[in-house]
Chains A and B, each alone.
Chain A
Amino acid sequence: MLCATSRLLAARTATALPAQPRGRGPGARCRRRELHFPGHPELPLGDFLAGRLPRSSVSAGRRAILRRGRMPPAVRGGPAGVELRPRRGRCGPQVTRAVGPDVAAEPTARSPKRPARGSRRFEAAGRWALLALVTLLAFATRFHRLDEPPHICWDETHFGKMGSYYINRTFFFDVHPPLGKMLIGLAGYLSGYDGTFLFQKPGDKYEHHNYMGMRGFCAFLGSLLVPFAYLTVLELSKSLPAALLTAALLTFDTGCLTLSQYILLDPILMFFIMAAMLSMVKYNSCADRPFSAPWWFWLSLTGINLAGALGVKFVGLFIILQVGWNTISDLWHLFGDLSLSVVTVGKHLTARILCLIVLPLTLYTATYAVHFMVLNKSGPGDGFFSSAFQARLSGNNLHNASIPEHLAYGSVITVKNVRMAMGYLHSHRHLYPEGIGARQQQVTTYLHKDYNNLWIIKKHNTNADPLDPSFPVEFVRHGDIIRLEHKETSRNLHSHYHEAPLTRKHYQVTGYGINGTGDSNDFWRIEVVNRKFGNRIKVLRSRIRLIHLVTGCVLGSSGKVLPKWGWEQLEVTCTPYLKETLNSIWNVEDHINPKLPNISLDVLQPTFPEILLESHMVMIRGNNGLKPKDNEFTSKPWHWPINYQGLRFSGINDTDFRVYLLGNPVVWWLNLLSIALYLLLGSIIAVAMQRGACLPAEVEGLSQVLLQGGGQLLLGWMLHYFPFFLMGRILYFHHYFPAMLFSSMLTGILWDTLLRLCAWSLASSSLARGIYAVGLLSLLLGTAYSFYLFHPLAYGMVGPLAQDPRSPMAGLRWLESWDF
C-alpha cells in the first residue's frame, strides 16, 4: 500500500512542478541543501530541526522533489498571501491522481542536478551521529543504577526462577511461551550465574549471586527500543525532528525505563515488537525494488521478529495481526496493479508466505524443540502433562518406569484423563455445597500431583482387603465390575441421577459411603477402548472408560472450572451421551501393588507435534484460569492510558527502597492528547480529500505522512490496546506498554506535522521557523524536565511516602491514586 501511494505522491508532486510559478534554479536548491547539513556550526536551529531527511532508496532527483514537496514552505520566504495564490492555482494537477502509477517514471526524467558529494557525506555523518546520540542516551538512562535494588523486584521472582530452571534443566510450566525465559536463562548462564538462587519472593537479597547479567540483558533490549522507535518514525515521516521527539518521549518515560531495568519478559517482548515494526516499515520502503537483497533482508527479518514476539508472550499475536494487515493490503495493491502479471503477483505472495508464515512458524517451533531438549529433568511442571510426556523427564517416576504392568485388585492407582490438560481424578474432604446436587464429597480433576489423587481398585461385591497375602493376585479384566475407593477418605466413586454442578445435562459424581461401604451406585464397569472382553488392563497403555452400572453413563471430565467452593478444580461428571470423546477416556498412571513384580516399561514416547500441541493446550488452560476475584482491586484497561495507577516494584514502607512503575505523566498525557488530536486532524483531512478539496502541495505531503505513517501507528496502538477490553483474565498495568510505544511514535509524527502546518499557515518565514523551533524545543525540554522531576520513581527513592507532606515527592502526587 505504501509503495503505491508513495509512488503516486511522487508523481503528483512531480507533475505539480512545472506549474510552479516561481522557477527555482538548481543553485537555490543546493544552497538549501547546505543549510540542512546538521553538523554545520552556523546552522540556525530552526532550519536544522525543520530539515527532513531524504529517502535513501529513491534517486537523487526524486529525493529533491520529495523534499520540496514536504518542506515547511515558510522557509521559502515571501508573504503568505503571495504564497497562497499560486498554490491554489496548482490545483489542476489533482487529475493526475487518476493517471496511475506509470507517471512514477517521470521524476527521474526531470531529475535536477546532483547535489554536491561532500554535503551528502556530512549529512549522512550527521544522521549517524544523531542516531548514536539517541542510542547512547537510551543506554545511559537504562544502565544507570541497574544494580539497585540488590533484591528481587516484583515478577523477577517468577522469571528469574524460570531462568534458573533452564540453567538447572528442570521441567516447569508457565502460561507464556518459552523463548523469553530461555533468553533470560541464557543471559544468566553466559554471565556466570549458576542457577542456585531460589528466587523465592520479592524482597529477597541476591547476596553473592550474579544477577547483573540477566538484568543487563533485559536493559540492553529495553535500551534498543529507543533507537528502533527513532528509526521507525524517521522512515515513516522522513522527518528528523519527529524522530527525535519520539526518541525523547521514550527515553524520558519513567515507565519504559523501569520496565526495562528488571528481569522481566516485557523488555524482550517489546524489543521483538519494535524490531518487527521497524523491519516491516523498512521493508515497505523497499517496495519499489521487489526481490532485491534489502527487500529480502527486511522481509525475512520481519518474520524472524514476529516469531520472537510470539515466542515471548502470546500478546505477540497483535503485532502479527498488524504485519498481516499490512501484508494483505500490500498484496491487494499489487494484485490490482494490472501492469504486473499474475505470475509476478504469485511470486510476491509466495515470498510473503515463506518469510512471514513458514519462517516464523519454523522458528517458533524450534524454540519449543530447544525448550523440551534443555528441560529434561523432572520438576514442578510434570503433573500438567500427560503420562506419556512425563516419561521423558528424568527423575519422574515414569521415566524408565518400573511398575507392575497389569492392573490387579487392591492396586493403588492414579487415574489421568487422556484429554490434554485435564488432570488426575481427584477427591478431597469437602462436600458439594447446598443446592448443588447431593451434599456429598466432591470429585474433581486436578492438575497437580497430590495424595488425594490416589484411588484403590476393589471388587464390587467384597470389601475384604485384597492385599491380604492369603488371597491370590487377581487381575482386573476388561468388562469387570469394580469399585474405586478414594485412598485418603475411604469413600467410593459414586454417581446418581442428580444434575452435575455445571454441565446440567450430565449426572453428578461424588464420593460416597463410609470406609468403603456404599451402595450399588458405586459400581462401575471398566472397559478398555477397542479391546475384547477378558483382556487384562495395562498401566499407562490402556485407554479405559468407566461406565456407571446403574445409570449407564460414562465417567468424564467436562473441563469446566468449578467456582470457589470447588477450589477452581475441574468438574467431573457422568455423561449419559455415549459419544466417543477424549473427555471420557482415562489412563492409569501410577500403580502400586506390592504383590506384583515391577517391570520396567517403556512408554510410547509422544512425538514432537503431540508435545507441542499438548503444551499449548496446557498454556491456554492456564491463561484462562487467571481470573480476577470479586472485591479485589484489579487494573482495568481504561486506567492505563490515563496513567491512573502504577505498579509497585519494590518496597512498601517509608524505610524501604521503593521503585514504582508509573509512566511519566507528561509523556503519557501528551500521548493521550495526541491521539485525540490525530483523530480530529486525520478525519478533517480525510473528509477534505473525499470532498475533493484542493490541498496545497505542502499540506498534501504532510497529510500523506499523517494518514499513511500515522495510520499504521494508530492501528498498532489500537491492536495492542483494545483486545485487552475483551480479555477475561486478570490484567496489569504493564500490559499497556507495547501500545504506549506506538502511541509515543504517533505523538512524534503528529506534533511534527502539526507544527509544520502551523508554521505554514503563518505569514512570515522567520516567525514560522521560530514557532516551529520553539514548539519542538519546548516539547523536548518539557519531557526532559518532567523526567528530571519523576526520575526517583524509576531509580528508586527512600524516605517518607508521597502522601506525607514532608516527602520530596509530595508535590508530584498529581493523582490521588498514585501511591509511591
Chain B
Amino acid sequence: MLGFLKRPVVVKADINLNVVVLTAVALLSRLWQLAYPRAVVFDEVYYGQYISFYMKRIFFLDGSGPPFGHMLLALGGYLGGFDGNFLWNRIGAEYSSNVPVWSLRLLPALTGALLVPMAYQILLELGFSHCAATGAALLMLIENALITQSRLMLLESVLIFFNLLAVLSYLKFSNSQKQRPFSLSWWFWLTLTGVACSCAVGVKYVGVCTYLLVLTVASVHAWHLIGDRTLSHVRVLCHLLARAAALLVIPALMYLLFFYVHLILVYRSGPHDQIMSSAFQASLEGGLARITQGQPLEVAYGSQVTLKNVFGKPVPCWLHSHQSTYPMIYENGRGSSHQQQVTCYPFKDVNNWWIVKDPGRHQLVVSNPPRPVRHGDVVQLVHGMTTRFLNTHDVAAPLSPHSQEVSCYVDYNISMPSQNLWRLDIVNRESDTEVWKTILSEVRLVHVNTSAVLKLSGAHLPDWGFRQLEVVGEKLSRGYHESMVWNVEEHRYGKSQEQKERELELHSPAQMDVSRNLSFMARFLELQWRMLTVRSDDSEHKYSSSPLDWVTLDTSIAYWLHPRTSAQIHLLGNAVIWASAGLATLVYALLFLWYLLRRRRGIHDLPEDSWLRWALAGALCAGGWAVNYVPFFMMEKTLFLYHYLPALAFQILLLPAVLEHLGDRLCRSPLLRSLFSGLVVAWYSCACHVFNTLRPLTYGDKSLSPSELKALRWKDSWDILIRKH
C-alpha cells in the first residue's frame, strides 16, 4: 500500500536557458514603457470604439473581422476596469484617467513577446539546429515593425501569434505521430492546432490563409498515411477521423462559439442597428425592440404598418410618401405623371405609415375579429397621412427610365386611371396560405395590372425629391433581387375611422408587449452575412500602400506624433532583415527547384530525410509567406503595411533555415565554416545596428532633431514627420 514510498519523489526539469533568456529579453522589449504614449495611436482609435461598445454592452457591426480579436482586446479593458467612457474620435488624443492603457495594450504585447520563443521552437521542430533556432528568435526579437505593432492596442501580433501557434502545434503533433500516435501529447497538440487555427481566423479573416495551409499540409500527410499499408483499415480510419474532428469540427465549433459569446456580450441596441434586419433589431434590448414589443403578429385588413426594405442599400429605409408631387418635366426633358411622390426614407417619420386596405371594402379600421392578410391576397396600400393609394403605371421612373414610376394616385381627370391593386407575395413562406407576419415575413408587392414589383432602385432623387431614395416598379422578369423585398417593421391595428383621429393615432407611439427572439443560428447567419457584405468606402488612406511596396519596404506609416516635441512612432521594418528575408525566399525557391529537377533525373543531392525536412520547412515557411501575402493582390480594400507582418513572420523563420542549409552544403572545410559564421555574425550585428538606429521611431521615446530625422529618411517614400518651426 505504501509502495509508492519506496521510491523518492523526484522532479526532473530540463530548462533551456536559451529560451528563458530569449523570452525574458522579448518581454522586456515589448513591455518596456508600455503605457507610453498615453494617447490614441493610429488604429487604436478604430479598435477602441469597439472596446467601448463591449464595455457598454452595445451591439455593433464590424466588417473587418470576426469578433474574437475585438473580444480579446476588450478582455484587457475589462481586467483593467475600463468603463468604456472615452470618445475615440482622433488619433493623438490624450487618454483620460479612466482608460487603463497598460492593461489594454498588455495582451498584444504578451503575444508579440511570445513570438520569440515560438520561432525558436518551430525551427527546432522542423529539425534545424539550436543555432538556427536561436537565430530565428533573435531576428524576431529585433524586428522593429513587429515590436511597434505589438506594443499597441492592435490585432496583428495576436494574429501572428495564433498563426505560429498553429504551425508549431501541428509540427509537434506530426513529430509525435512517428513515435506515439494517440498518446496524450498527440491529442493535445492535434487539438491545439485546431484551436489555434480557429483563433487565428477569429482574430482576422486573413487567418484563413494559414488555416488552409495547415490543412493542406495535414491532408498531404494524411494521404501518405492512407498509403501506409502497414496500418490496418480501422486504424487509418481512426487517424482520419481524429484529424477531421480536430482540424475541421473543432474550428467550426470554436468559430460559432466566438459569435455566441459576442452576441451574449453585446445585447443592447446601438448605432449600428440600422444595418440589420428588423427581426434582428427586435432581438436587441432597447431600440426597435422597445417599439415593437407587443405588436400584433398578423397583419390584418386595416392594419397600420411601416414597410422597410430588406436589402437596405445604399441605406436602410422605409417606404415613404409626402405631399409633394413629381415635377411635371424633369431636368432632362422627360415628363412625369405629376402625381404624389413615393420614396424610400432613411429616417423614422410619421409619413412612413401605410394602411393595408381590402379593395372590396371601404373601411380603414381592423374589424373584430381581425381578418389576416394571406399570401396571394390582393390589397391596396393607403398612405396614412394623405390617404392616397399606392399606385404604379406605365410612366418612366424619374431616375431609372427603364422601370415604372410609383406614385400615390392623384386624379387629374386626364384619363389616367388609378392602378392601385397589389398582390402580396410572401417570399419566405412555408405554405401557400401563410399569413403576413410583422417583421418575420419578407414580402414582394406585385402590381396586378402590370406585374411590376415595388423596388428600391438605390438612386438618390435630386432636390425636388429631398434627396430621398427612388422607389420604382420593376418588371418581375428582370430577376429576383433583395431590393424588391420589404417587411413590416412597426405595426398596429387601426382603430379610427375619421382621418383627423387617424392622424393623431399615427403620431402616437405604438405599444404592446410580446418579445420575439431569433434563434442563435439565425442571428449568427445574419450577422456573418452582413459582416461579409458590408462595404467600407474604398477611398484611399493617406498611409495606404500597395502589396508591391511591402517587400521592398517602400512605405511606412506614421502612427503617432508627440503633441509638442518631434518624438514620433512609425511602423518601419528593420531594413536589413526585410532585404535578407526576401533574398532568402528567393534562394530557397531556386534551390528547391534545382534539387527537385535533379531528383527527377535520379540525382539525390540530399539524403531522403533531410530532403523531406527541407521541403517541409519550405512548405510551412515559404508557403506561409506566400499564402499570407499573395491574396492581398486580389483584395480591393484599403491596404496598409501592417497587413504584411504575418507574411513577414513566416519569412523570418525561413531565413535561418536557408542560412544553415547553405552553411552545411557550401562550407566543407573548417576554415570556410568559420568564415561563414563570421559573415553571419557580421550580418546580424548590422541588423542590430539598424534596429538601434530606428529605435527612436519604434518606441517614440526620444525627440530627434530635424537633421537627425532627415538622416533617418532612407527612402523618399517614408513619411517621417518633420516639424516646421
In the complex, chain A residues whose CB is within 8 Å of the CB of B542: 499, 504-505
Residue of B nearest to A436 (CB): B539
In the complex, chain B residues whose CB is within 8 Å of the CB of A692: 227, 229
Question: Is residue A778 contacting chain B, with contact meaning CB distance below 8 A?
Answer: no
In the complex, chain B residues whose CB is within 8 Å of the CB of A504: 539-542, 544
In the complex, chain A residues whose CB is within 8 Å of the CB of B636: 728
Interface residues of A in 687-702 (CB under 8 A from B): 687, 690-692
Nearest CB on B from A547, distance (A) = 17
In the complex, chain A residues whose CB is within 8 Å of the CB of B483: 631
A633 touches B227 (CB 8 A): no
Question: Is residue B480 contacting chain A, with contact meaning CB distance below 8 A?
Answer: yes
Question: Is residue B706 contacting chain A, with contact meaning CB distance below 8 A?
Answer: no
Task: Give the interface segment out of A180-188, A321-329, A331-339, A471-479.
Answer: A331-339
* A817 to B477 CA separation, bound complex (whole angstroms): 8
Residues of B bordering A, CB below 8 Å: 223, 226-227, 229, 233, 236, 311, 313-314, 451, 455-458, 475-481, 483, 539-542, 544, 597, 600-602, 634, 636, 716-717
* A692 to B224 CA separation, bound complex (whole angstroms): 12
Beyond known contacts A501-B539, A503-B540, A633-B480: 11 more, CB 8 A cutoff:
A504-B539, A504-B541, A577-B716, A631-B456, A633-B481, A635-B479, A690-B223, A691-B229, A691-B233, A692-B227, A726-B634
A631 touches B540 (CB 8 A): no
Residue of A nearest to B483 (CB): A631
A342 touches B227 (CB 8 A): no
Residue of B nearest to A338 (CB): B602
B539 touches A502 (CB 8 A): yes
A335 touches B458 (CB 8 A): no
A819 touches B476 (CB 8 A): yes
CB-CB nearest 3 A-B residue pairs: A631-B458, A633-B479, A819-B477
B479 touches A817 (CB 8 A): yes
In the complex, chain B residues whose CB is within 8 Å of the CB of A577: 716-717
Residue of B nearest to A500 (CB): B540
* A78 to B311 CA separation, bound complex (whole angstroms): 66
Query: Can you list 26 A-B contacts with CB-CB less than 8 angstroms, sorted by A residue number?
Result: A332-B600, A335-B597, A336-B600, A342-B601, A499-B542, A502-B540, A504-B542, A504-B544, A505-B540, A505-B542, A630-B313, A631-B311, A631-B455, A631-B456, A631-B483, A632-B481, A633-B481, A635-B479, A645-B479, A648-B477, A652-B475, A691-B236, A692-B229, A728-B636, A817-B479, A819-B477
Question: Is residue A24 contacting chain B, with contact meaning CB distance below 8 A?
Answer: no
Interface residues of A in 268-287 (CB under 8 A from B): none
In the complex, chain B residues whose CB is within 8 Å of the CB of A117: none
Nearest CB on A from B250, distance (A) = 23
* A335 to B457 CA separation, bound complex (whole angstroms): 60
Residue of B nearest to A687 (CB): B226
Interface residues of A in 660-696 (CB under 8 A from B): 687, 690-692
Question: Is residue A629 contacting chain B, with contact meaning CB distance below 8 A?
Answer: yes
In the complex, chain B residues whose CB is within 8 Å of the CB of A633: 478-481
Q: How many residues of A contact B (CB 8 A)?
A: 31
* A769 to B600 CA separation, bound complex (whole angstroms): 45
* A651 to B267 CA separation, bound complex (whole angstroms): 52
* A632 to B458 CA separation, bound complex (whole angstroms): 9
Contact with B along A217-249 (1 / 0, CB 8 A): 000000000000000000000000000000000
In the complex, chain A residues whose CB is within 8 Å of the CB of B481: 631-633
Residues of A bordering B, CB below 8 Å: 332, 335-336, 338, 342, 499, 501-505, 560, 577, 629-633, 635, 645, 648, 652, 687, 690-692, 726, 728, 803, 817, 819
* A560 to B544 CA separation, bound complex (whole angstroms): 15
* A342 to B451 CA separation, bound complex (whole angstroms): 72
Nearest CB on B from A482, distance (A) = 28
B226 touches A690 (CB 8 A): yes
In the complex, chain A residues whose CB is within 8 Å of the CB of B227: 690-692
Nearest CB on A from B314, distance (A) = 6
Residue of B nearest to A505 (CB): B542
Residue of A nearest to B538 (CB): A502
* A501 to B480 CA separation, bound complex (whole angstroms): 34
* A635 to B477 CA separation, bound complex (whole angstroms): 13
Specify which of A633, A635, A652, A819 lies most central, judged by the most chain B CB atoms within 10 Å of its CB.
Answer: A633
B229 touches A338 (CB 8 A): no
* A737 to B230 CA separation, bound complex (whole angstroms): 47
Nearest CB on A from B86, distance (A) = 25
* A635 to B540 CA separation, bound complex (whole angstroms): 29
Residue of B nearest to A639 (CB): B479
A335 touches B544 (CB 8 A): no
* A819 to B540 CA separation, bound complex (whole angstroms): 42
* A338 to B604 CA separation, bound complex (whole angstroms): 14
In the complex, chain A residues whose CB is within 8 Å of the CB of B477: 648, 652, 819
Nearest CB on A from B273, distance (A) = 21
Nearest CB on B from A153, distance (A) = 16
Residue of A nearest to B476 (CB): A819
A629 touches B458 (CB 8 A): yes
* A335 to B597 CA separation, bound complex (whole angstroms): 8
In the complex, chain B residues whose CB is within 8 Å of the CB of A501: 539
A335 touches B601 (CB 8 A): yes
In the complex, chain A residues whose CB is within 8 Å of the CB of B451: 803
In the complex, chain B residues whose CB is within 8 Å of the CB of A652: 475, 477
Nearest CB on B from A572, distance (A) = 15
Nearest CB on A from B642, distance (A) = 17
Our pick among A502, A630, A645 for the contact of B458 (Cβ within 8 Å) is: A630
In the complex, chain B residues whose CB is within 8 Å of the CB of A336: 600-601
Residue of A nearest to B313 (CB): A630
* A336 to B601 CA separation, bound complex (whole angstroms): 6
* A335 to B599 CA separation, bound complex (whole angstroms): 10
Nearest CB on A from B508, distance (A) = 34
A691 touches B544 (CB 8 A): no
Residue of B nearest to A345 (CB): B601
In the complex, chain B residues whose CB is within 8 Å of the CB of A635: 479
In the complex, chain A residues whose CB is within 8 Å of the CB of B458: 629-632
Nearest CB on B from A142, distance (A) = 27
Residue of A nearest to B457 (CB): A631
* A803 to B451 CA separation, bound complex (whole angstroms): 11
Residue of A nearest to B537 (CB): A563
Residue of B nearest to A801 (CB): B477
* A505 to B542 CA separation, bound complex (whole angstroms): 5
Nearest CB on B from A394, distance (A) = 36
B539 touches A817 (CB 8 A): no
* A336 to B652 CA separation, bound complex (whole angstroms): 34
In the complex, chain A residues whose CB is within 8 Å of the CB of B229: 691-692
Nearest CB on A from B226, distance (A) = 5
B480 touches A631 (CB 8 A): no
Nearest CB on A from B503, distance (A) = 32
Residue of B nearest to A631 (CB): B458
Nearest CB on B from A498, distance (A) = 12
Nearest CB on A from B699, distance (A) = 26
In the complex, chain B residues whose CB is within 8 Å of the CB of A648: 477
* A560 to B477 CA separation, bound complex (whole angstroms): 34
Nearest CB on B from A99, distance (A) = 16
In the complex, chain A residues whose CB is within 8 Å of the CB of B544: 504
Nearest CB on B from A732, distance (A) = 12
Nearest CB on A from B312, distance (A) = 10
Nearest CB on A from B725, distance (A) = 19
Nearest CB on B from A580, distance (A) = 12
* A577 to B479 CA separation, bound complex (whole angstroms): 48
In the complex, chain B residues whose CB is within 8 Å of the CB of A335: 597, 600-601
B540 touches A691 (CB 8 A): no
Nearest CB on B from A724, distance (A) = 14
Residue of A nearest to B223 (CB): A690
* A70 to B601 CA separation, bound complex (whole angstroms): 33
* A169 to B479 CA separation, bound complex (whole angstroms): 39
* A570 to B257 CA separation, bound complex (whole angstroms): 45
In the complex, chain B residues whose CB is within 8 Å of the CB of A332: 600
Nearest CB on B from A576, distance (A) = 11
Known: A645-B479, A692-B229. A630 touches B314 (CB 8 A): yes
Nearest CB on B from A366, distance (A) = 32
Residue of A nearest to B597 (CB): A335
Nearest CB on A from B401, distance (A) = 14
In the complex, chain B residues whose CB is within 8 Å of the CB of A690: 223, 226-227
